């Protein structure tokens, strides 16, 4: 189904990032070799002039827009204005330049954060505008939601073929484990791995780990390789900017997730919940029937296996950083 991408000039913004590296690898499998990846050190996509330079160098037939400024609840609380501006500006500049240059297709990768805070579960694409997003990530979510509207308007007025994808929280090897910006799975993995190490060094035994919120909210998670396959399929097969959910259709409470990550990490100490800190949206679970119907795609990676693979990757990174061989 992806043969149509062979030989195409494809530009992948964010192509050097966590998801972008997987997307570029999937493109290579279908003959779309050597996609152009604009690096942030050379191109500031919030600046129109830099976006023009991207198009002049890449001469793309297709744009896959993955670049974003994003993080967990803490990062969203710290930088709501920047998250809105940066994500809105990048998308505006890229879509407009794609229209001006007659690009064949523009693929916009959005976010589950665009859905209303009290959206009926499972989230259906038709419910995207039924309310305002949860406040801790609303500026980011609204920016991404608006870019989907822009693509729909550009399809109607200018004939620009667009694709709009809404993935749930991604996880996997290569994710950001920075405590200031990481999402929930890498944040949990890092905390529990640190606690295991601390307990091993202490004669007092196991330590405690404090986590934000009550643990009662739920989330859905998608392994990064599964997301990359869906994005490449959508790039090859779709040309209508109707929103398409990407997920597993399964949710887990944060408390159960924490217990599962702790078990795999080997942590046996106490887990303390700080209910004074925000938990975010009450529930997240997507209806993924449209992706199954239009793309013949379903997530394949077992959650336990995905978690174990991610934890093993992080531990190997820690060993390399510390120079420890085990």
3-state SS record for 104-157: CEEEEECCHHHCECCCCCCECHHHCCCCCECHHHHHHHHHHHHHHHHHHHHHHH
13: β partners: 65
Res 204: pLDDT = 56
Helix (H, G, I), strand (E, B) or coil at 292: helix
Res 72: pLDDT = 78
Residue given tokens 């944040």 in the structure block: 187
Based on the number of CB atoms within 10 Å of its own CB, is 245 exposed (0-12), middle (13-18) or buried (19 or more)? buried
Checking if the pLDDT of 224 tops 60, the result is yes
Res 326: pLDDT = 41
Res 33: pLDDT = 82
CA distance 293 to 177: 35
Q: What whole-number percentage of the chain has pLDDT above 70? A: 97
β-pairing, 208-212 vs 270-274, is parallel
CA distance 106 to 16: 19
Query: Who has greater pLDDT, 76 or 139?
Result: 139
Residue-wise pLDDT for 147-187, tens only, equals 999 999 999 999 999 999 999 999 999 999 998 888 999 99
- Ordered domains of the chain (ranges, CATH): 3-173+221-250+282-301 (3.40.50.720)
CA distance 309 to 311: 6
Sheet with 161-167, strands from edge to edge, namely 10-13, 62-65, 105-109, 161-167, 243-246
Residue-wise pLDDT for 276-288, tens only, equals 987 888 999 999 9
Cα distance between the two ends of the chain: 43
C-alpha distance from residue 289 to each of 28, 108, 243, 283, 319 (Å): 27, 20, 12, 19, 41
Checking if the pLDDT of 122 tops 50, the result is yes
Peptide bond before residue 177 is cis, with ω within 30 degrees of 0: no
What H or E segment, with its residue span, contains residue 198? helix 184-201
Query: Who has greater pLDDT, 201 or 152?
Result: 152
Average pLDDT, the chain: 94
The model's confidence at residue 320, banded by pLDDT at 50, 70 and 90, is confident
Res 205: pLDDT = 55
Checking if the pLDDT of 317 tops 70, the result is yes
Residues classed as catalytic: 140
Based on the number of CB atoms within 10 Å of its own CB, is 182 exposed (0-12), middle (13-18) or buried (19 or more)? buried
Measured torsion, CA atoms of residues 292, 295, 296, 301, in degrees rounded to the nearest 10 = -80
Res 274: pLDDT = 94
What H or E segment, with its residue span, contains residue 54? helix 48-58
8-state DSSP, 184: H
Query: Who has greater pLDDT, 189 or 70?
Result: 189
CA distance 226 to 129: 27
The model's confidence at residue 198, banded by pLDDT at 50, 70 and 90, is confident
Residue-wise pLDDT for 23-63, tens only, equals 999 999 998 989 999 999 999 999 999 999 999 999 999 99
Look up residue 199 and give its two tokens. 């307990």
The model's confidence at residue 83, banded by pLDDT at 50, 70 and 90, is very high
């Amino acid at each position: 189904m992806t043969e149509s991408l062979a030989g195409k000039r494809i530009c992948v913004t964010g192509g050097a990032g966590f998801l972008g590296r997987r997307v570029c690898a999937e493109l290579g499998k279908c003959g779309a070799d050597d996609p152009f990846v604009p690096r942030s050190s050379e191109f500031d996509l919030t600046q129109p002039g830099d976006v023009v330079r991207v198009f002049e160098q890449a001469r793309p037939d297709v744009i896959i827009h993955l670049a974003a400024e994003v993080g967990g609840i803490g990062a969203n609380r710290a930088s709501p204005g920047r998250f809105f501006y940066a994500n809105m500006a990048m998308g505006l500049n890229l879509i407009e330049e794609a229209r001006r240059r007659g690009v064949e297709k523009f693929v916009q990768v959005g976010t589950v954060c665009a859905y209303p805070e009290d959206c009926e579960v499972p989230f259906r694409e038709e419910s995207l505008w039924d309310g305002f997003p949860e406040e801790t990530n609303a500026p980011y979510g609204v920016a991404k939601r608006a870019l989907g509207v822009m693509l729909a308007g550009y399809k109607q007025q200018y004939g620009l073929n667009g694709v709009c994808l809404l993935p749930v929280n991604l996880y996997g090897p290569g994710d950001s484990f920075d405590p200031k910006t990481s999402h929930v799975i890498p944040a949990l993995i890092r905390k529990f791995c640190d606690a295991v190490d601390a307990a091993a060094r202490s004669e007092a035994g196991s330590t405690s780990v404090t986590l934000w919120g009550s643990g009662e909210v739920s989330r859905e998670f998608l392994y990064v390789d599964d997301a990359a396959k869906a994005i490449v399929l959508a790039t090859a097969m779709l040309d209508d900017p109707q929103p398409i959910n990407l997920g597993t259709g399964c949710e887990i409470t944060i408390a159960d997730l924490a217990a599962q990550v702790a078990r795999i990490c080997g942590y046996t100490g106490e887990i303390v919940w700080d209910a004074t800190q925000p938990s975010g949206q009450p529930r997240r679970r997507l209806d993924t029937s449209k992706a199954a119907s239009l793309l013949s795609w379903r997530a394949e990676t077992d959650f336990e296996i995905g978690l174990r693979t991610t934890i093993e990757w992080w531990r190997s990174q820690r060993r390399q950083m510390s120079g420890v061989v085990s």
